[in-house]
A = this chain, B = another copy of it.
Amino acid sequence: MKEIRYPNGIVRSKPPSRTDNHSRRGFRLEDDLNASNQYYKDLNIALIYKKPTPVQIVKVDYPKRGRAKITEAYYRTPSTTDYNGIYKGRYIDFEAKETQHKTSFPKYLVQPHQIEHLKGVSRHGGIGFFIIRFTSMSKTYLVDSLEMIQKLEDPSAKSIPYSWFEEHSCLLQEGLYPRIQYLKAVDELYLKGD
Protein backbone atom coordinates (compact mmCIF):
# COMPACT_ATOMS: atom_id res chain seq x y z
CA MET A 1 0.00 0.00 0.00
CA LYS A 2 1.76 3.11 -1.24
CA GLU A 3 -1.06 5.59 -0.85
CA ILE A 4 -4.44 5.95 0.74
CA ARG A 5 -7.33 7.49 -1.15
CA TYR A 6 -9.93 8.71 1.23
CA PRO A 7 -13.51 8.67 -0.12
CA ASN A 8 -13.52 12.47 -0.29
CA GLY A 9 -10.65 12.50 -2.79
CA ILE A 10 -7.78 13.31 -0.41
CA VAL A 11 -4.74 11.15 -1.06
CA ARG A 12 -2.03 10.30 1.44
CA SER A 13 1.32 9.11 0.18
CA LYS A 14 2.54 7.03 3.10
CA PRO A 15 0.73 4.45 5.22
CA PRO A 16 0.44 5.23 8.93
CA SER A 17 3.71 4.37 10.66
CA ARG A 18 3.82 0.94 12.21
CA THR A 19 3.81 0.44 15.94
CA ASP A 20 6.79 -1.08 17.75
CA ASN A 21 7.33 -4.72 16.95
CA HIS A 22 7.19 -5.57 20.60
CA SER A 23 3.87 -4.00 21.28
CA ARG A 24 2.09 -5.45 18.26
CA ARG A 25 0.90 -8.66 19.91
CA GLY A 26 -2.84 -8.25 19.72
CA PHE A 27 -3.04 -4.46 19.78
CA ARG A 28 -5.66 -4.23 17.08
CA LEU A 29 -7.39 -1.39 18.87
CA GLU A 30 -4.17 0.62 18.87
CA ASP A 31 -3.78 0.17 15.12
CA ASP A 32 -7.37 1.25 14.55
CA LEU A 33 -6.90 4.34 16.70
CA ASN A 34 -3.64 5.27 15.00
CA ALA A 35 -5.31 4.98 11.60
CA SER A 36 -8.25 7.06 12.82
CA ASN A 37 -5.91 9.72 14.20
CA GLN A 38 -4.05 9.79 10.89
CA TYR A 39 -7.37 10.29 9.11
CA TYR A 40 -8.36 13.10 11.50
CA LYS A 41 -4.98 14.73 10.92
CA ASP A 42 -5.08 14.38 7.14
CA LEU A 43 -8.54 15.92 6.99
CA ASN A 44 -7.48 18.71 9.32
CA ILE A 45 -10.07 17.68 11.91
CA ALA A 46 -7.84 17.12 14.93
CA LEU A 47 -4.24 16.53 16.00
CA ILE A 48 -4.15 13.51 18.28
CA TYR A 49 -1.17 11.20 18.71
CA LYS A 50 -0.22 8.09 20.56
CA LYS A 51 2.77 8.78 22.76
CA PRO A 52 5.84 6.63 22.13
CA THR A 53 6.51 3.81 24.60
CA PRO A 54 8.97 5.20 27.14
CA VAL A 55 12.28 3.37 27.00
CA GLN A 56 15.37 3.82 29.13
CA ILE A 57 18.35 3.60 26.82
CA VAL A 58 21.53 2.21 28.35
CA LYS A 59 23.85 1.37 25.45
CA VAL A 60 24.08 2.64 21.90
CA ASP A 61 26.43 1.48 19.14
CA TYR A 62 27.45 3.91 16.45
CA PRO A 63 28.52 1.82 13.48
CA LYS A 64 30.73 3.58 10.92
CA ARG A 65 28.07 3.35 8.28
CA GLY A 66 24.42 3.22 9.12
CA ARG A 67 22.39 4.60 11.93
CA ALA A 68 22.85 4.37 15.68
CA LYS A 69 21.85 0.98 17.08
CA ILE A 70 20.50 0.72 20.60
CA THR A 71 21.85 -2.49 22.11
CA GLU A 72 20.60 -2.27 25.67
CA ALA A 73 17.40 -0.64 26.83
CA TYR A 74 14.48 -1.27 29.16
CA TYR A 75 10.81 -0.43 29.22
CA ARG A 76 9.83 2.29 31.65
CA THR A 77 6.49 2.84 33.30
CA PRO A 78 4.67 5.71 31.60
CA SER A 79 3.33 8.48 33.80
CA THR A 80 0.45 9.52 31.59
CA THR A 81 -2.11 7.96 29.27
CA ASP A 82 -1.30 6.81 25.75
CA TYR A 83 -3.09 9.41 23.64
CA ASN A 84 -3.43 13.16 23.71
CA GLY A 85 -3.89 16.10 21.42
CA ILE A 86 -6.16 18.91 20.35
CA TYR A 87 -9.65 18.97 18.83
CA LYS A 88 -11.76 22.09 18.23
CA GLY A 89 -9.47 24.05 20.52
CA ARG A 90 -9.92 21.59 23.39
CA TYR A 91 -7.30 19.43 25.05
CA ILE A 92 -8.10 15.72 24.49
CA ASP A 93 -6.60 12.90 26.55
CA PHE A 94 -7.52 9.24 26.70
CA GLU A 95 -6.50 5.71 27.44
CA ALA A 96 -7.52 2.76 25.26
CA LYS A 97 -7.99 -0.78 26.51
CA GLU A 98 -9.27 -3.97 25.02
CA THR A 99 -10.39 -7.18 26.65
CA GLN A 100 -11.50 -10.58 25.44
CA HIS A 101 -13.78 -11.00 28.44
CA LYS A 102 -17.39 -11.30 27.40
CA THR A 103 -19.33 -10.24 30.44
CA SER A 104 -17.13 -7.67 32.15
CA PHE A 105 -14.07 -5.43 32.02
CA PRO A 106 -11.32 -6.41 34.49
CA LYS A 107 -10.27 -3.39 36.52
CA TYR A 108 -6.60 -4.39 36.71
CA LEU A 109 -6.23 -3.37 33.07
CA VAL A 110 -6.26 0.29 34.15
CA GLN A 111 -3.13 1.45 35.97
CA PRO A 112 -3.21 3.84 38.95
CA HIS A 113 -1.05 6.41 37.10
CA GLN A 114 -3.62 6.50 34.30
CA ILE A 115 -6.40 7.22 36.78
CA GLU A 116 -4.37 9.96 38.46
CA HIS A 117 -3.47 11.51 35.15
CA LEU A 118 -7.06 11.56 33.88
CA LYS A 119 -8.27 13.11 37.14
CA GLY A 120 -5.70 15.85 36.55
CA VAL A 121 -6.87 16.36 32.98
CA SER A 122 -10.43 16.99 34.22
CA ARG A 123 -9.22 19.33 36.95
CA HIS A 124 -7.40 21.42 34.36
CA GLY A 125 -10.41 21.64 32.06
CA GLY A 126 -9.48 19.03 29.48
CA ILE A 127 -11.61 16.32 27.94
CA GLY A 128 -10.62 12.91 29.27
CA PHE A 129 -12.08 9.50 28.53
CA PHE A 130 -11.48 5.80 28.05
CA ILE A 131 -11.97 3.84 24.86
CA ILE A 132 -12.84 0.26 25.78
CA ARG A 133 -13.12 -2.54 23.27
CA PHE A 134 -14.74 -5.88 23.99
CA THR A 135 -13.03 -7.87 21.25
CA SER A 136 -15.24 -10.95 21.49
CA MET A 137 -18.32 -8.77 21.03
CA SER A 138 -16.66 -6.53 18.40
CA LYS A 139 -17.97 -3.51 20.30
CA THR A 140 -15.99 -0.42 21.23
CA TYR A 141 -17.20 2.13 23.74
CA LEU A 142 -16.16 5.64 24.76
CA VAL A 143 -16.76 6.44 28.40
CA ASP A 144 -16.09 9.63 30.32
CA SER A 145 -12.99 9.33 32.51
CA LEU A 146 -14.55 10.51 35.78
CA GLU A 147 -17.59 8.29 35.37
CA MET A 148 -15.43 5.24 34.76
CA ILE A 149 -12.94 6.16 37.51
CA GLN A 150 -15.79 6.26 40.02
CA LYS A 151 -16.62 2.71 38.99
CA LEU A 152 -12.94 1.63 38.99
CA GLU A 153 -12.46 2.95 42.52
CA ASP A 154 -15.54 1.25 43.90
CA PRO A 155 -13.96 -1.57 45.94
CA SER A 156 -17.02 -3.84 45.80
CA ALA A 157 -16.06 -5.60 42.56
CA LYS A 158 -12.95 -6.52 40.58
CA SER A 159 -14.55 -5.88 37.23
CA ILE A 160 -17.15 -3.69 35.55
CA PRO A 161 -20.08 -5.53 33.94
CA TYR A 162 -20.52 -5.25 30.21
CA SER A 163 -24.05 -4.04 30.77
CA TRP A 164 -22.68 -1.01 32.64
CA PHE A 165 -20.91 0.12 29.45
CA GLU A 166 -24.09 -0.36 27.44
CA GLU A 167 -25.81 2.08 29.80
CA HIS A 168 -23.08 4.58 30.64
CA SER A 169 -21.01 4.96 27.51
CA CYS A 170 -21.17 5.73 23.82
CA LEU A 171 -21.03 2.82 21.38
CA LEU A 172 -18.56 3.86 18.70
CA GLN A 173 -19.32 3.52 15.04
CA GLU A 174 -16.63 1.60 13.16
CA GLY A 175 -15.88 1.77 9.49
CA LEU A 176 -13.14 2.35 6.97
CA TYR A 177 -12.40 6.07 7.21
CA PRO A 178 -12.01 6.67 10.04
CA ARG A 179 -11.95 3.17 11.43
CA ILE A 180 -13.30 4.37 14.75
CA GLN A 181 -15.41 7.53 14.74
CA TYR A 182 -14.61 8.45 18.30
CA LEU A 183 -14.64 12.24 17.78
CA LYS A 184 -18.34 12.00 16.92
CA ALA A 185 -18.87 10.67 20.44
CA VAL A 186 -16.70 13.49 21.82
CA ASP A 187 -19.00 15.98 20.06
CA GLU A 188 -22.03 14.26 21.58
CA LEU A 189 -20.70 14.01 25.11
CA TYR A 190 -18.66 17.17 25.57
CA LEU A 191 -19.20 19.73 22.83
CA LYS A 192 -22.93 19.84 22.27
CA GLY A 193 -23.22 23.45 23.35
CA ASP A 194 -20.30 24.59 21.16
Interface set of A (CB-CB < 8 Å, partner B): 17, 20-23, 41, 44, 46-47, 49, 51-58, 60, 67-76, 78-80, 84-91, 93, 117, 120-121, 123-126
Contact = CB atoms under 8 A, between A and B. Distances in A.
A124 B55 contact: no
A89 B124 contact: yes
B54 A86 contact: no
Contact of A74 (B41, B67, B78): B67
Contact of A69 (B23, B53, B72, B126): B72
A30 to B, nearest CB: 14
A58 B53 CA distance: 13
A55 B56 contact: no
A73 B74 contact: no
A66 B102 CA distance: 33
A4 to B, nearest CB: 16
Contact of A125 (B22, B71, B88, B126): B88
Given A44-B123, A86-B126, A52 B49 contact: no
Nearest to A70: B73
Contacts of A76: 17, 52
Given A72-B71, A91-B91, A117-B47, A53 B52 contact: yes
Nearest to A93: B86
B86 A75 contact: no
Contacts of A21: 56-58
B70 A72 contact: yes
B86 A89 contact: no
Contacts of A53: 52, 55, 57
Nearest to A67: B74
A124 to B, nearest CB: 5
